[in-house]
Amino acid sequence: MLKVGLTGGIGAGKSEVSRLLVSYGAVLIDADKIAREVVEPGTPGLAAVVEAFGPEILTEQGTLDRPKLGSIVFADADRLATLNGIVHPLVGSRSAELESAAGDGDVVVHDVPLLTENALAPLYDLVVVVDASPETQLDRLVRLRGMAEPEARARMAAQATREQRRAIADVVIDNDGPLEALEPQVRAVWDELTRRAAEPNR
């Protein structure tokens, strides 16, 4: 099994790269998706978040009110650390569970948005960074996702810098260009990953 950490700044195109890798045969473990699952109604994760932040972070339906919780934690580093202290261990154990179900020769791709920020590179056999210029990221967030420019800039500023991400990369996928320029790059990376996964005594 080859364990790959996949990351990239917001708007860099990481989701598209993970979609392509899955289409080639990768086993995808999506940290964001798991982070949502571990705080669904009825979970110990949601109970712990309510205990820490109070019942006002729930919607009328009893689900987590993400915008409300976000407005609390992103304005307060201590409260964000409290939330991360609840959610990150749950995500880690669920990720390990999913990884253990993969086969020996599989390429397991961990899609982790905050891989750089949380210094997680040592957990993986190699790290793939999807890279785009800040100008490209901003354009995609505003034009494709409909974000207001100040919000897009704030979201980008809250993440690791482009240089910090590239510094931990074993492989960089350049996604500054159009979609059709991305696929051949990802295919070449996949060929390399499967070759490495098949190597004895890696």
Distances (CA, A) of 173 to 32, 82, 121, 144, 165: 21, 34, 17, 20, 12
Q: What is the set of domains in the chain, with CATH numbers?
A: 1-26+106-202 (3.40.50.300), 33-104 (no CATH)
Amino acid at 160: A
- What does the mean pLDDT of the chain come to? 93
Q: What's the pTM value of the predicted model, to 2 decimals?
A: 0.86
DSSP string, 180-202: HHHHHHHHHHHHHHHHHHHSTT-
Contact 39, 127 (CB under 8 A): no
**Burial grade of 104 (CB within 10 A; 0-12, 13-18, 19 or more):** exposed
CA 82-88-92 angle, to 5 degrees, is 160
Q: Residue 202's pLDDT is what?
A: 57
Per-residue pLDDT, averaged over 89-109, amounts to 93
Of the candidate ranges 67-81, 122-136, 166-180, the one whose mean pLDDT is the lowest: 67-81
Q: How far apart are CA 14 and CA 10, in angstroms?
A: 8
Position 162 confidence tier, pLDDT thresholds 50, 70, 90: very high
- The two tokens of residue 107 are 């390429």
**Tokens 């159009």, residue?**
178
